[in-house]
Amino acid sequence: MAYLPIILVFILYFSSIPIAYALFGSSLFYFAVIDTSSPVDLILQKFVTSTQSFPLLAIPFFVMAGSIMNYAGISKKLMQFADVLTGHMAGGMAQVNVLLSLLMGGVSGSANADAAMQSKMLVPEMEKRGYDRAFSTAITAASSAVTPVIPPGINLIIYALIANASVGRMFAAGYVPGLIMTISLMVTVSIISKRRGYQPVRETRAGGKEVFHQLRESIWALLFPFGIIAGLRIGMFTPSEAGAIAVLYCIIVGKFIYKELGKEHIIPVLRETIFGTSGVVLIIVSASVFGYYLNWERIPQAMASGLLTITQNKYLMLMIINVLFLVMGMFLEGGAAMIILAPLLVPVVTQLGVDVIHFGLICIVNIMIGGLTPPFGSMMFTCCSITRCSLQDFVKEVIPFIVALLISLILVTYIPIITLIVPNLLYGVA
C-alpha cells in the first residue's frame, strides 16, 4: 500500500494528466486514504513552504530578465557578438548557449532559473538560425546543469552543511567538474552539428577589426553577466537577489542605452513572466509534495540502506551510489534528494576512504543529470513548458547530452584529483 502512489503517479502521468496534477493527485491519495496519521489538509503546509522560498525567486527574475532582453534588443546584440566569434563554426549558436550557462554559473546557483532565462532568450534566436526547437531546448536544459556546479550554488552549500565540510573548499571544488561538463557538452554539440549540417552563419572567421567593432556595439549586453558577477563580489547583493538586479539592469540598458524598450512591452513581459514561472513552479511544488510522501514513507532511505549492503568495494560502491542518485534525481527535486540521501551515504563512503568534498561533487553532478531525465526532471519541464516543445521530442534530443554528462560524471567519480585540485591549491591538502 505504501508504494501505491508510485504506481498511481505513472498511471496518471501516461494518461495525459498534466505532470503537476499527477504528482498532486497521487500524494493526496496517500495522505487522504493510506496514511491518515496526520490531518490531510496539513499537506497544504508543504504547498506554501515550498513556494514561499526566497532562493526560488531567481526563477521569475531571470525569466523576466530574459523576456526584457528580447524586447530591449539585448539578446540581439549578444547574438550578433556571438555570431562574430562563433558564426564560422558549425553549431556556433548552440556552443554559445553552453558557454552562457558556464558564465551564468558565476551569477546564479539555480539550474532552473538559468534554464528558464535561456529558453526565453536563446531558443527563439536559435530557431531563427535554423536549429530545430527540440534540439535547442535540449541543449538549453542540458547546459543549465553546469550552472549550480560552478560556485555560487545552493546545493554546494547544503552539502557542506550536511557533510560538515568547509563551504570554501566545496565552492573551489566545483570549478573543474563544471568545466569538464561544459567541454563534454561542447564536443557533443560539435559532433551533432556537423552530422546534421547546422550551417555556419558566415563563411570565414571574423577579423580582429570586425570583432572589436561588434564588441563596442554589444558591450552593454556583454556586461550583463560580468556586471552581476562584479556586484556579487563587492557585496551589493546575494545570489538570490541577483535576478532582481538583472531585471533592473536590462530595463536601464533597454530604455536608456538601446532605447528599444517602451511602455508597450510591459504587458507582454509580464505575461511571459507569469506563464514562464507559474507552470514551472507548480511542478516544483508538486514534486516537493510527492517528495514529502516518499520521505514520510522513508522510501529513499529504504532503497539506500538496501543497496549499501551489497558491497564493500569502493569503486563498486560509488557506481551503486551513482545509480541510486540518478534514479532519485528523476523523482525528487535536487536539494531534497541531497538532504535525504547525503546523511545516509557520507558515513559509508568516508569509511571506504572517499574524500568528503569529492563525494559532494559526485552527488551534485548526479542530481543535475537527474533533472534532465524523464519522468520528473525539473529542468526538462522548465525548458519544455517555456519553449512549448513536446516531451517526446525533447527526450530524443537530450539523450546524447545526457550521455556526455554521464561521461563527465564517470570522470568526476573515478578521478578524484579533478575535484580536489583547486581546493588543495587554495587551501592546502586536507
Partner 1 sequence: MHQAVKKVLSNFELIIASAAIIVTTALVMLNVFTRYFLRTGIYWTEEVATACFVWSVFIGAAAAYKHRAHVGVDMLGNLCPPKTKKAITIIVDFVLLLINGYITYIAVIYISLSYKKPTPVLGISTAYISSSILVSFALTTIYSVYFLIKDIRQPATGGTT
Partner 2 sequence: QGSKEAASGDDYKLVLKMSHVFAPNEQLTKSLDIVIKNISDRTDGAIEIQHYPQSQLAVYKDGVEQVARGANFISVEDPSYLGDYVPDFNALVGPMLYKSFDEYEYMIQTDLVKGMLKELEEKHRIKVLALDYIFGFRNMKTNKVITTPADLKGMKIRTPGSQLFIDTINAMGATATPLGFSETLSAVQQGVVDGLEGTMDAYGSNGSAEVAKNMALTQHFLGTCGVYINADVFNAIPEKYQTIIQEEFTAGAKHMIREISNNYESTKARLEAQGNKFNEVDSAAFAATVTSVYENMKGVTPGIYQTLQDELAKMPK
- Confirm or reject binding of residue 167 to partner 2 (CB under 8 A): yes
- Nearest alpha carbon to residue 380 among 181, 140, 154: 140
Q: Which does 239 bind (CB under 5 to 8 A by kind): partner 2, partner 1, Na ion, none?
A: partner 2
Q: Which of 25, 91, 153, 300 binds Na ion (CB under 5 A)?
A: 153
To the nearest whole angstrom, how small is the minimum distance from the Cβ of residue 127 to partner 1? 19
If contact means CB under 5 to 8 A according to the sort of partner, which of partner 2, Na ion, partner 1, none does residue 1 touch? none
Q: Output the smallest distance, CB 51 to partner 1, in A.
A: 5
User: Taking CB under 5 A as the rule, does residue 387 contact Na ion?
Assistant: no
Site map 101..120 versus Na ion, x via CB under 5 A: x---x---x--------x--
Question: Among candidates 122, 104, 329, which has minimal Cα distance to 239?
Answer: 104
What's the N-to-C CA distance of the chain in angstroms?
47
Question: Closest separation between CB of residue 97 and Na ion, Å?
Answer: 4
The string of DSSP letters for 164-216 reads T--HHHHHHHTHHHHHHHHHHHHHHHHHHHHHHT---SSSSPPPHHHHHHHHH
Distances (CA, A) of 244 to 59, 60, 113, 248: 10, 9, 12, 6
Q: Does 154 bind partner 1 (CB under 8 A)?
A: no
Which of 279, 416 has the CB closer to partner 1? 279
Which cell numbers hold the place of 430? Answer: 586536507
The continuous run of DSSP H or E covering 1 comes out as none
Residue 424 binds what, of Na ion, partner 1, partner 2, none (CB under 5 to 8 Å, by partner type)?
Answer: none
Half-sphere exposure of 373 (CA within 13 A, CB side): 20
17 binds, among partner 1, Na ion, partner 2, none (CB under 5 to 8 A by kind): partner 1
319 binds partner 1 (CB under 8 A): no
> C-alpha cell of 387?
519553449
Quote the least distance from Cβ 187 to partner 1, whole Å.
30
Min separation Cβ 383 and partner 2, Å = 25
* CB of 340 closer than 8 Å to CB of 302: no
Applying CB under 8 A, does 32 fall inside the site for partner 1? Answer: yes
Q: Where are the beta strands (DSSP E) in 34-94?
A: none
Q: Judged by CB, which is closer to partner 2: 219, or 248?
A: 248
Q: Is residue 158 within the footprint of partner 2 (CB under 8 A)? A: yes
- Under 8 Å between Cβ of 389 and 134: yes
- The partner in contact with residue 14, picked from partner 2, partner 1, Na ion, none with C-beta cut-offs of 5 to 8 angstroms by kind, is partner 1
For residue 19, report the phi and psi dihedrals to the nearest 5 degrees: -50, -50
User: In terms of Cα–Cα distance, which of 371, 364, 369 is closest to 403?
Assistant: 369
The yes or no reply on residue 370 touching Na ion (CB under 5 A) is no
Helices (H), 254-390: 266-296, 299-308, 314-331, 334-351, 356-370, 378-387
**Alpha-carbon gap, residue 284 to 57, rounded angstroms:** 13
Question: Which ranges of 371-390 does DSSP label H, i.e. alpha helix?
Answer: 378-387
Residue from 3, 212, 226, 275 touching partner 1 (CB under 8 A): that is 275
Whose Cβ is closer to Na ion: residue 143's or residue 413's?
Answer: 143
Q: List interacting residues with partner 2 (CB under 8 A).
A: 37-39, 42, 45-46, 49, 54-55, 152, 154, 157-158, 160-162, 164, 166-168, 232-240, 292, 295-296, 298, 339-340, 343
Q: Which residues of the shown chain bind Na ion in the complex (CB under 5 A)? A: 97, 101, 105, 109, 118, 140, 143, 150, 153
